[in-house]
Structure 1
Amino acid sequence: MHIAPRDNGNMPIVGVDHPLVPLCYFNIVRLRAGEAFVSDVPGYETCIVAATGTVSVTVGEEVFSGIGKRRANVWDAEPEGVYVPVGAVARIVADAETECFIAGAKCDEVFAPFAVREADIDPVQYGSDETKTHRKIKHILGQKYHGRVGRLLVSELYTVGAGGWSGFPSHKHDTERLPVETRHDEVYNFRFNPPHGSGLQMMQREEGKPGDAYHIVDGSTVCVDKGYHPCAVLPGYEMYYFTILGGLTQRPLVQYFQPSHADQIETIPGIKDMIAKFK
């Protein structure tokens, strides 16, 4: 499902118990300096990420100040964020004009809030220009936070260079059948550099049958509920997508690679390291 960019008025783009991706939550909050927003998402743990600008986040008695180093866009610096446990209310105050992403996953375990600073980001780069799969992933809530987070995975994905594919070899994670695959709902929000760039999101829901394709632009949101879902960016442009994964029974992601393309796992440099970082 493709959700075209719009002024959401700080209301959820993917709300609680969404009919396609009920395990995920997503909101974009835009604030001027000095403005505040209260985030209260019952039944979901969340992560507040400063896409641009700087914020202070209060969770209970704890205050996390100076979150966010980016000014111009998501290519400007490393991400920073705050983990908010299920049942907690977060108050966001903008220190400067800001855009915040609020990512969430359904969860019934309560953990302690914490900040993810620039130095805490876990990066991985894989692929190559030759295979048209060169990209970088910045894990905000990744593998290193197992035991401190319930079901939520949050990362930022960048194509390296101008043009190319992401999410390939095609994979899916819509069925709980361990150890082969886990059920994880997924939500993306895309950005392009320059902003007038665009790309393509494929969605093949049934093996051996043609799927759907969406024209994605700066600010597009995509809900991945079922099937194989590679995407591509036009030549001459960089692509970024904020990624939210919510697991049904566990946090580690087990991807099932489409058999017709799975052999290419052996040809793409570093892809096995990338797969391991989501587990």
Structure 2
Amino acid sequence: MHIAPYDNKNSPIVDVDDTTVPLNYFNIVKLTKGQAFAYQVPGYETCIVPATGTIDVDVEGFKTAGLGGRVEDVWGGEPEGVYVPSGAKVEMVCLSETAEVFIAGAKYDEVLDPFAVRADEIDLVQYGSDDTKTHRKIKHILGQKQHGKVGRLLVSELFTVGAGGWSGFPSHKHDTDHLPTETRHDETYNFRFKPNWGSGVQMLQREDNKPGDAYHIVDGSTICLDNGYHPCCVLPGYEMYYFTILGGLSQRSLVQYFQPTHAYQIETIPGIKDMIAKFK
């Protein structure tokens, strides 16, 4: 499902028990200097990630000062995040002139401990190549390094390297708990483009070798993925970014089922096996 950009007025774009991706939660909060925002999401663990701007965060007494350092856009530095346990009360206060803050969530009942992920703790992986048109890098905010500290939530930022190209290829899905070959993980993206008048296409193919759907994605588009194979691409001459939320049904580690028609390209795209291993 494609949700076109709109003024959400700091209300969830993907709320609890969403009909398409019930395992996910997503909000974008926009603040000005000195403005505060508080929230609490029972039954969902969340992660606060400033897209731009700097904020202070208080999670029931666990305080993180000066979170986020990007100014103009998501290309302007490394991400930072704060993990918020399920149902915890949170308040954030904007320190910069403005801030745009992503709140990612996954359904999970157990209450764990809050923690911060600073820029020097981000787990970076780069894979693909210009020749295969798949060159990209992934910055894991809640990834393999945080395994054991988080219930079901995976949070990362994905960037195309250079202008144009494909992401999420070879096509894969993760809509069915069928271990050891696949896990059920709902997924939500929020896209940005550089320059911001760029755009791309999100494909969604429900069955191998049968026609699927395609969505025209623009700066600020949100995509919710419940099932099917889902590669995406950006127009030549533009860079693409997408904030990625994964919420697992029965486990946190993601097991992708690659589309049989294209699975052989796992062996031809440089570094892709290292990329797969990071979603744990």
Q: TM-score range, shorter-chain basis?
A: over 0.9
TM-score of the superposition, structure 2-length normalised? 0.99
Task: Give, as a single letter, the amino acid of the residue that structure 1 aligns with 2:149.
Answer: R
Task: Give, as a single letter, the amino acid of the residue that structure 2 aligns with 1:249.
Answer: S
Q: Secondary structure at the match of 1:149?
A: coil
Give the match for residue 243 of structure 2.
242
1:107 aligns with 2:108: yes
Total equivalences in the alignment: 279
Q: Which moved more, 1:56-65 or 1:232-241?
A: 56-65
Task: Give, as a single letter, the amino acid of the residue that structure 2 aligns with 1:51.
Answer: A
Matches of 1:56 and 1:110, distance apart in 2: 22
1:255 aligns with 2:256: yes
Give the match for residue 169 of structure 1.
170
Give the match for residue 26 of structure 1.
26
Give the match for residue 201 of structure 2.
200
1:42-121 matches, within 5 Å, as 42-96=42-96, 97-121=98-122
Give the match for residue 40 of structure 1.
40
Q: Secondary structure at the match of 2:210?
A: coil
Shift of 1:207: 2.3
Give the conservation status (yes or no) of the 8 Å contact 2:168–2:232.
yes
Give ranges in structure 1 of 5+ residues lacking alignment: none
Shift of 1:208: 2.5
TM-score of the superposition, structure 1-length normalised? 0.99
Give the conservation status (yes or no) of the 8 Å contact 2:106–2:153.
yes
Matches of 2:181 and 2:160, distance apart in 1: 28
Matches of 2:267 and 2:63, distance apart in 1: 46
Matches of 1:6 and 1:63, distance apart in 2: 31
Seq. identity, %: 74
Deviations 1:95-115 (A, max 9, x none): 011000000000022111011
Moved >3 Å (runs of 4+): none
Shift of 1:20: 0.6
Matches of 1:2 and 1:275, distance apart in 2: 25
Matches of 2:135 and 2:88, distance apart in 1: 38
Shift of 1:63: 1.0
Matches of 1:215 and 1:242, distance apart in 2: 17
Matches of 1:20 and 1:206, distance apart in 2: 18
User: Could you say what the CA RMSD is over the residues aligned between the two structures, in angstroms?
Assistant: 0.5
